[in-house]
Amino acid sequence: MNIAIFGAGGTGGILAAYLAKAGNDVTLLARGKHLAAIQARGITLETPHLGVLTVPVRAVAAEDYTDTPDILFICVKYYALDDAIALVKRIASKDTLVVPILNVFGTGEVIQSALDPSGETLTVLDGCIYVVAHIKEPGVLTQEHKILRVIYGYRPEQPKRLEEKAKALEAILTQADIRTAYTDDIRAASLEKFSFVSPMGAAGLYYGAKAADFQTEGEKRETFKALVAEVQAIGEAMGLTFRHDLVESALLLIDKSNPATITSMQRDVEAGRISEFAGLVTRVCELGKKYGVPTPWYDKVQERAALLSTGR
């Protein structure tokens, strides 16, 4: 199938490299110096298990892409969601399967609602990814850990248009050495991933802390646990059932993290740049109000961010 990937960073660039390495028809939609480097040399991967390799990948600027893909992965930051919606509107057909892979919970539903709430002519799934990777320099991606897992699926009551294509995608990703799960429970799976990324960013921002600060007992670790518990309570209020206790799962992940790790959201907010704060923090506060779940710690992070924005 013809696969397009919008976003060429530690998510989209990694997916493109693995899929292209396996011989798939992939087009990466990128920009700037990163795009120019990929066009000139391909994507260079630095990995702990494959070593260093360079993979030729077709790459164009999003505005220059005129094909109609069979599969469109959305792998941009939450603050670029409007750009993603505009791209889907321009290039997707009724036969295009759109799979958002973002850090923020429920982005597939946001895109679907913006373009075709009924789902009769456009199919936007929800998805999430487990990967630790970043752009080292233009054209070069560093995958810091072997983990690479994609989970995607239809939301409850969503029309299962293009289901054969969705099932076929699982085989394509698996053959590309990407651990993949096409699931009937994507909302729970996505919120489980979100329940680590969001609290890590929120707690890190609140304390100006790194992963190491949450790996030992004390106030900061307790705050991290409280943030995860608020996300879990929202999920339970939504009627979701989780395979594991989310607090325990998040603690296992934080304890395995590089002690120096901080989230891109934390870096961006502290530097005064545009960030995913609205998706990773504000969205939790909004969901809490919607489902009647108190979110005292997320409210405190909101207040802390407001002070940072005024330089206090």
Q: What is the mean pLDDT of residues 253-281?
A: 89
- Do 49 and 160 share a domain, yes or no? yes
Query: Are 200 and 140 in the same domain?
Result: no
* φ/ψ (deg, to 5) at 214: -105, 5
Give the tens place of pLDDT for each residue, 154-196: 999 899 999 999 999 999 999 999 999 999 999 999 999 999 9
Domain CATH for 101: 3.40.50.720
pLDDT of residue 264: 85
pTM exceeds cut of 0.85: yes
Asked which of 53-62, 102-111, 151-160, 264-273 is least confident by mean pLDDT, the reply is 264-273
Instruction: Give the bridge partners for 151, in sequence order.
Output: 128, 181
Domain range for 62: 2-184
Region 205-212 average pLDDT: 94
Do 234 and 141 sit in the same domain of this protein? no
Question: Among the residues of the chain, which ranges form H helices?
Answer: 12-21, 32-41, 81-91, 107-115, 163-175, 186-207, 219-237, 246-256, 264-270, 277, 283-291, 296-309
Mean pLDDT of the chain: 94
Residues 168 and 298 in one domain: no
Q: Provide the number of structural domains found in the chain.
A: 2
Q: Is 272 left (phi over 0), alpha (psi -120 to 50) or beta?
A: left
- 223 shares a domain with 135: no
Tokens of 151: 């989970």
Based on the fold, state whether residues 137 and 193 are members of the same structural domain: no
163 vs 17: CA distance, rounded Å: 25
Residues 87 and 205 in one domain: no
150 and 108 assigned to the same domain = yes
Query: Model confidence over 190-206: pLDDT tens digits?
Result: 999 999 999 999 999 99
177 and 251 both lie in a single domain: no
- Out of 164, 184, 204, a domain closes at 184
Same domain, 7 and 73: yes
Q: Give residue 310's pLDDT band: very low, low, confident or very high (50, 70, 90).
A: very low
41/157 same-domain check: yes
φ, ψ at 208 (rounded to 5°) = 60, 45
Same domain, 90 and 174: yes
